[in-house]
Structure 1
Amino acid sequence: MTRMRRGIVHALAWSLATGAAVTLSWWGVHTVLAGTVYDPPRALPIPAGSTQAPPAAAGDPSASSTRRPTATPTPTPSPPRKTGGAPSATPSPGPSSRPSASRQPEGGGEVKGYTVDGGRVVFDLGETSAELVSATPSSGWTMQVWKQPTWIRVTFTRDGRELSVFCVWHDTAPRVEIEDR
């Protein structure tokens, strides 16, 4: 009888220790991740009659905006150089870029999406600043994001080709520029 009691005591002690370890681990991970950039995604309405392409299939792993690039990060890039002429709030014309429909959020900014060969980027453009809403690479492309106080850069790369979508608002209203290298 004492052997059976000893076995039950050991099983109970093991269960309590395992439960305490799992609880402590969960609490530690939760505490660390609570202050990170893992905010829930914001849904954007699609306007009625939109000619926008349907989203990628749910089973496609590259359809996730949380997919991490496999390349090692490079040093922080500099923002695009200013060129002559008036700043533009729309992307530079080109065969690889096409802005999508936009909407006016309650905060006074304008949410605009930009689709390039490497993926899709959505910005919330305010009067004096901008915020990255989402960035999703196309299948086979990798993506990196840089954020600075006066600019945001999203770069898609594949097979030596590099497409960058810049949003710059230093001393001007936010404007989006697309660079293909």
Structure 2
Amino acid sequence: MRRGIMQALAWVLATTAAMAVSWYGVRTVLTGTAYEPPRALPISGTTPPLEPAARGSAPSPSAPERSASSTPVPRSAAPAPSASSRSDAPSAPPPGDNGEVKSFPVRGGRAVFDLGESSAALVSATPDEGWQMRVWKQSAWIRVDFMSGTRTTSLFVTWNGHPPQVQTVEN
């Protein structure tokens, strides 16, 4: 019995010493590391999708920046304006451009935009189950497509010389 207690005590001491050394190593590595929690943007009340616009009035995309995906795209993975200057954070409106974050639920998914006075930025786009999405961004417009088979729903945000306007086109 005494031998069993001594073995248990030795095991507890060895385990405690190992945990202390491990914690000391982790603490030493993490000392001075700044942790910045992700910034959450407020979403104003959900807005119903706008009436579909005429197909001829929508800007035509040049080439998609992002391949089709059937999984939600996190905010940090939103495509950047060009392949050479990609960033992990989505582009934001210029300083002083008081933006309003709005969510647009449409057939096939949901897109969230930060709509400023003279520009807009894509915050996130999430396709519904079984849908895929593509995103195009240019200097005066953003296009988000949700696709499933032959069905496509497109959201266009344009702001060339006017406040951002959102149009929805369903095929």
TM-score between the two structures when normalised by the length of structure 1: 0.45
- Point out which structure has higher relative CO (alpha carbons under 8 A, 6+ apart): 2
The structure that has the greater radius of gyration is 2
Instruction: Give TM-score scaled by structure 2 length.
Output: 0.48
